[in-house]
């Protein structure tokens, strides 16, 4: 199972939200580029970078993301505010290894299928689950759509993966939601990368055993619950 450290950006800073709540933000003093370099030095093969301002539709951290792409030798998957084929092509041309489509993937799955057909394996679909429903627009709203129905709409697309974030667990350090992970795994053929609530290296072992293809780590690494090297070792054992 691949371990993917995350950098969530808001106002040019590294932050973490509690359960996706923009009013419950923890900001960290780390320079985003230096933090990305740190993860690369610790052995990360890929970085998950989320532009929260772009996701919510009120700003952009594009300059910071472009610096990471230009200055850090690591694969980067970019998320937040990627709405159409132009956005996808633009980020890939800028050096991103992959892009994550969230709101558009939920509301317009046909567009995700189109983008994935043009860029096979480089488009990832974000399934952000809040109160059992897909969350959109920076997790500020939920859609009345059943998860199996949504996953079925993505099934024919040549996606790189489905990124499952359990928003109710995100930033809580209360452990992963294995029940939701199982529901998603049985409903899709795509690799599933899990995010939300991971607190200990043992959580990674549980996720690997459950069938996750990868795990995205945010607060647990930023607050030193364990190191990235320890996380990678836990998944290799």
Residue 133 maps to which CATH number?
3.20.20.70
User: Which residue out of 8, 53, 168, 170 is catalytically annotated?
Assistant: 8
Model pLDDT for residues 128-175, shown as the tens digit of each residue: 998 888 887 766 677 878 899 999 999 999 999 999 999 999 999 999
Q: Given the residues 21, 51, 53, 128, select the one marked as catalytic.
A: 128
Structure tokens at 23: 């009013």
Token pair, residue 180, equals 């939701």
Lookup: tokens for 30: 């780390």
- Contact present, 181 and 191 (Cβ < 8 Å): no
Strand 133-136 to 2-10 pairing: unpaired
DSSP structure string for 155-174: TTS--SEEEEEETTTTTT-S
Q: What is the pLDDT of residue 135?
A: 81
111-127 in b/e form (b: 16+ CB < 10 A) is bbbbbbeebeebbbbbb
Distance CA 80, CA 62 (A): 10
Q: β-pairing, 98-101 with 13-18?
A: unpaired
Residues 210 and 179: their CA atoms lie apart, in Å, by 10
What does the pLDDT read at residue 236? 81
Q: Is the pLDDT of residue 126 over 90?
A: yes
Whether 8 is catalytic: yes
Cα–Cα separations (whole angstroms), residue 153 to 41, 125, 180 = 38, 11, 18
Task: Inform me whether the pLDDT recorded for 221 exceeds 70.
Answer: yes
What average pLDDT does this structure show over 58-79? 96
pLDDT tens digits, 172-202: 999 999 999 999 999 999 999 999 999 999 9
- Residue 128 appears among annotated catalytic residues: yes
If we measure between CA atoms, which residue out of 53, 48, 58 comes closest to residue 12?
Answer: 53
> Count of domains in the chain?
1
Full domain range(s) for residue 78: 2-236
Higher pLDDT: 203 or 17? It is 203
């Amino acid at each position: 199972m691949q371990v993917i450290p995350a950098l969530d950006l808001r106002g040019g800073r590294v932050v973490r939200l509690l359960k996706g709540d923009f009013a419950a933000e923890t900001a960290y003093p780390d320079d985003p580029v230096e933090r990305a370099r740190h993860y690369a030095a610790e052995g990360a093969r890929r970085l998950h970078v989320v532009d929260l301002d772009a996701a919510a539709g009120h700003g952009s951290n594009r300059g910071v993301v472009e610096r990471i792409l230009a200055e850090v030798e690591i694969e980067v998957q970019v998320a937040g505010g990627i709405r159409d084929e132009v956005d996808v092509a633009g980020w890939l041309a800028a050096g991103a290894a992959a892009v994550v489509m969230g709101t558009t993937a939920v509301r317009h799955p046909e567009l995700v299928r189109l983008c994935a057909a043009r860029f096979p394996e480089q488009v990832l679909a974000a399934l952000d689950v809040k109160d059992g429903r897909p969350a959109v627009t920076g997790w500020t709203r939920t859609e009345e759509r059943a998860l199996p129905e949504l996953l079925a709409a993505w099934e024919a697309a040549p996606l790189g993966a489905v990124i499952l974030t359990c928003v109710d667990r995100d930033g809580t350090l209360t452990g992963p939601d294995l029940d939701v992970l199982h529901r998603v795994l049985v409903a899709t053929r795509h690799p599933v990368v899990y995010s939300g609530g991971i607190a200990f290296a043992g959580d990674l072992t549980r996720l690997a055993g459950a069938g996750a293809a990868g795990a995205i780590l945010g607060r647990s690494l930023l607050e030193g619950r364990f190191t990235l090297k320890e996380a990678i070792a836990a998944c290799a054992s």
